[in-house]
Homo-oligomer: A and B are copies of this chain.
Amino acid sequence: MSYQGPESFRKAVVALAKLPGVGEKTAQRLIFHLMKGKKENISFLTQALEQLKAQVTICAQCFGYSDTQICPVCTDVKRDQHTICVVEEPSDVFAIERSGHYRGVYHVLHGVLAPLDGVGPSALKIKELFLRAQSQEIKEVLIATNPNVEGDATALYLAQGLRNQDIPVSRIAMGLPMGGHLEYADRVTLARAIAERRDFSIR
């Protein structure tokens, strides 16, 4: 594309196109939309983003996103504060909350062990998890790292560390996704679903 409009327009396109899944064409389309609307709409967006930048921080206990030093989940007395779900990223907290089936608290690692990329235990919030398990009365740690090589290795590392503290550790189940078909399931998922089969006998 040779013609890209006025300087300020081009700069806004460049900035928007840095977002994932937003190409130059999409960025242009978004800006045409913003330009057609009231100019206050632009401020509404930029102010929300600036506020996000200024206010969102990491919870000092679970390391998830929070506007306060300790996040609302960590201070919610209605939640089970003795069960910790360990996830890789803050976004995983949103995914699990969406399921509506978890009432405990979280611990966000901010990554996974990836020795080949130079990511060791000290780069993650692992020490903090061990300390937390030690100092608080924890009755279960549910490891919900992703079901792949790094996620599994990280889960194993955590389970070994927590064994020394005598804390029951569990791992989210892996198997066929709901609504899936055996026919279309990949080899690895199917192998895992078989290996981790559950007792189904009616007694």
Contact = CB atoms under 8 A, between A and B. Distances in A.
Contacts of A15: 44-45, 47-49
Contact of A34 (B21, B43, B52): B52
Contact of A32 (B26, B31, B44, B89): B89
A170 interface: no
Given A2-B100, A19-B33, A32-B90, A8 B42 contact: no
Interface stretch (A65-73, A125-133, A144-152, A156-164): A65-73
A192 interface: no
A84 to B, nearest CB: 17
A58 to B, nearest CB: 10
A54 to B, nearest CB: 8
A47 to B, nearest CB: 8
Interface string A9-47: 101101110111110001011111111100101111111
Contacts of A32: 89-91
Interface residues of A, number: 60
Contacts of A29: 20-21, 91
A41 B29 CA distance: 21
B3 A97 contact: yes
Given A15-B48, A50-B46, A55 B100 contact: no
Interface of A: 1-9, 11-12, 14-16, 18-22, 26, 28-36, 39, 41-56, 65-68, 71-72, 89-91, 93-94, 97-98, 100
Nearest 9 Cβ contacts at the A-B interface: A3-B97, A15-B48, A6-B67, A46-B46, A8-B55, A12-B52, A42-B53, A32-B91, A12-B48
